[in-house]
Amino acid sequence: ELIDGAVDNSHIAAMAASKLTGALPAISGASLTGLIAGSGAFSARGTSSWVNMSADAICQFGNDSTGYSFDTDNNYNASTYKYTAPAAGVYFFFVNIYTAQNDASSDFNILRNSSELDLTGDATNLFIFNSSGVEDRIVSGSITLLLDENDTIAIKASSASDMYPLGSSFGGCRLK
């Protein structure tokens, strides 16, 4: 039998978590390693009316802080319109682009760093596409990607396209 205080930290090499019972004191997470705070999420929208975008131009989603727009971890740059992954992991992204105006077709893709994602395995290589005439419409897409730390994600016009940024949005979050 042991007397109170006979077992201290110097006598304990390791202890299974299952041995901890009863009311436990509050534990600080300051010493935990390998964790990423929060999952991080953003939702940005445009700030201007119609924009005539040239081929390869990055879509302008410049508002990430008013209305329903937000950036919980400050990983979206509202000036470059790019999201930067804070850590390696699985990410989900969505985009809604109000398009057409005077275009018979509009097409968009995702840039990972400076390269288009090869989503179709053929020459079109498009993420979202509209070819339904000149009536205004919203084209939408979503994707789950495995990213490395500091990878950037942006949406770009694959050909000359009209975009109404005030009716468009781009966002995402870290899943794992």
Pair of tokens at residue 29: 């997470």
How many residues does this entry show for the chain?
176
Tens of pLDDT, residues 125-156: 555 555 555 567 778 888 999 999 999 999 99
Q: What is the pTM of this model?
A: 0.73
C-alpha–C-alpha distance, residues 162 and 36, integer Å: 38
- pLDDT one digit per residue (tens) for the chain, 176 residues: 778 777 777 777 777 777 777 666 666 655 656 655 557 899 999 988 888 889 899 999 999 999 999 999 999 999 999 999 999 999 999 999 888 766 666 778 889 998 888 776 655 555 555 555 556 777 888 899 999 999 999 999 888 888 888 889 999 999 98
C-alpha–C-alpha distance, residues 68 and 75, integer Å: 17
Determine the pLDDT at residue 137. Answer: 75
Pair of tokens at residue 80: 């470059």
How many other C-beta atoms are found inside a 10 Å radius of the C-beta of residue 85? 21
User: Three-state SS for 140?
Assistant: strand
Determine the pLDDT at residue 100. Answer: 74
Determine the pLDDT at residue 41. Answer: 95
What letter does residue 20 receive in the DSSP assignment?
-
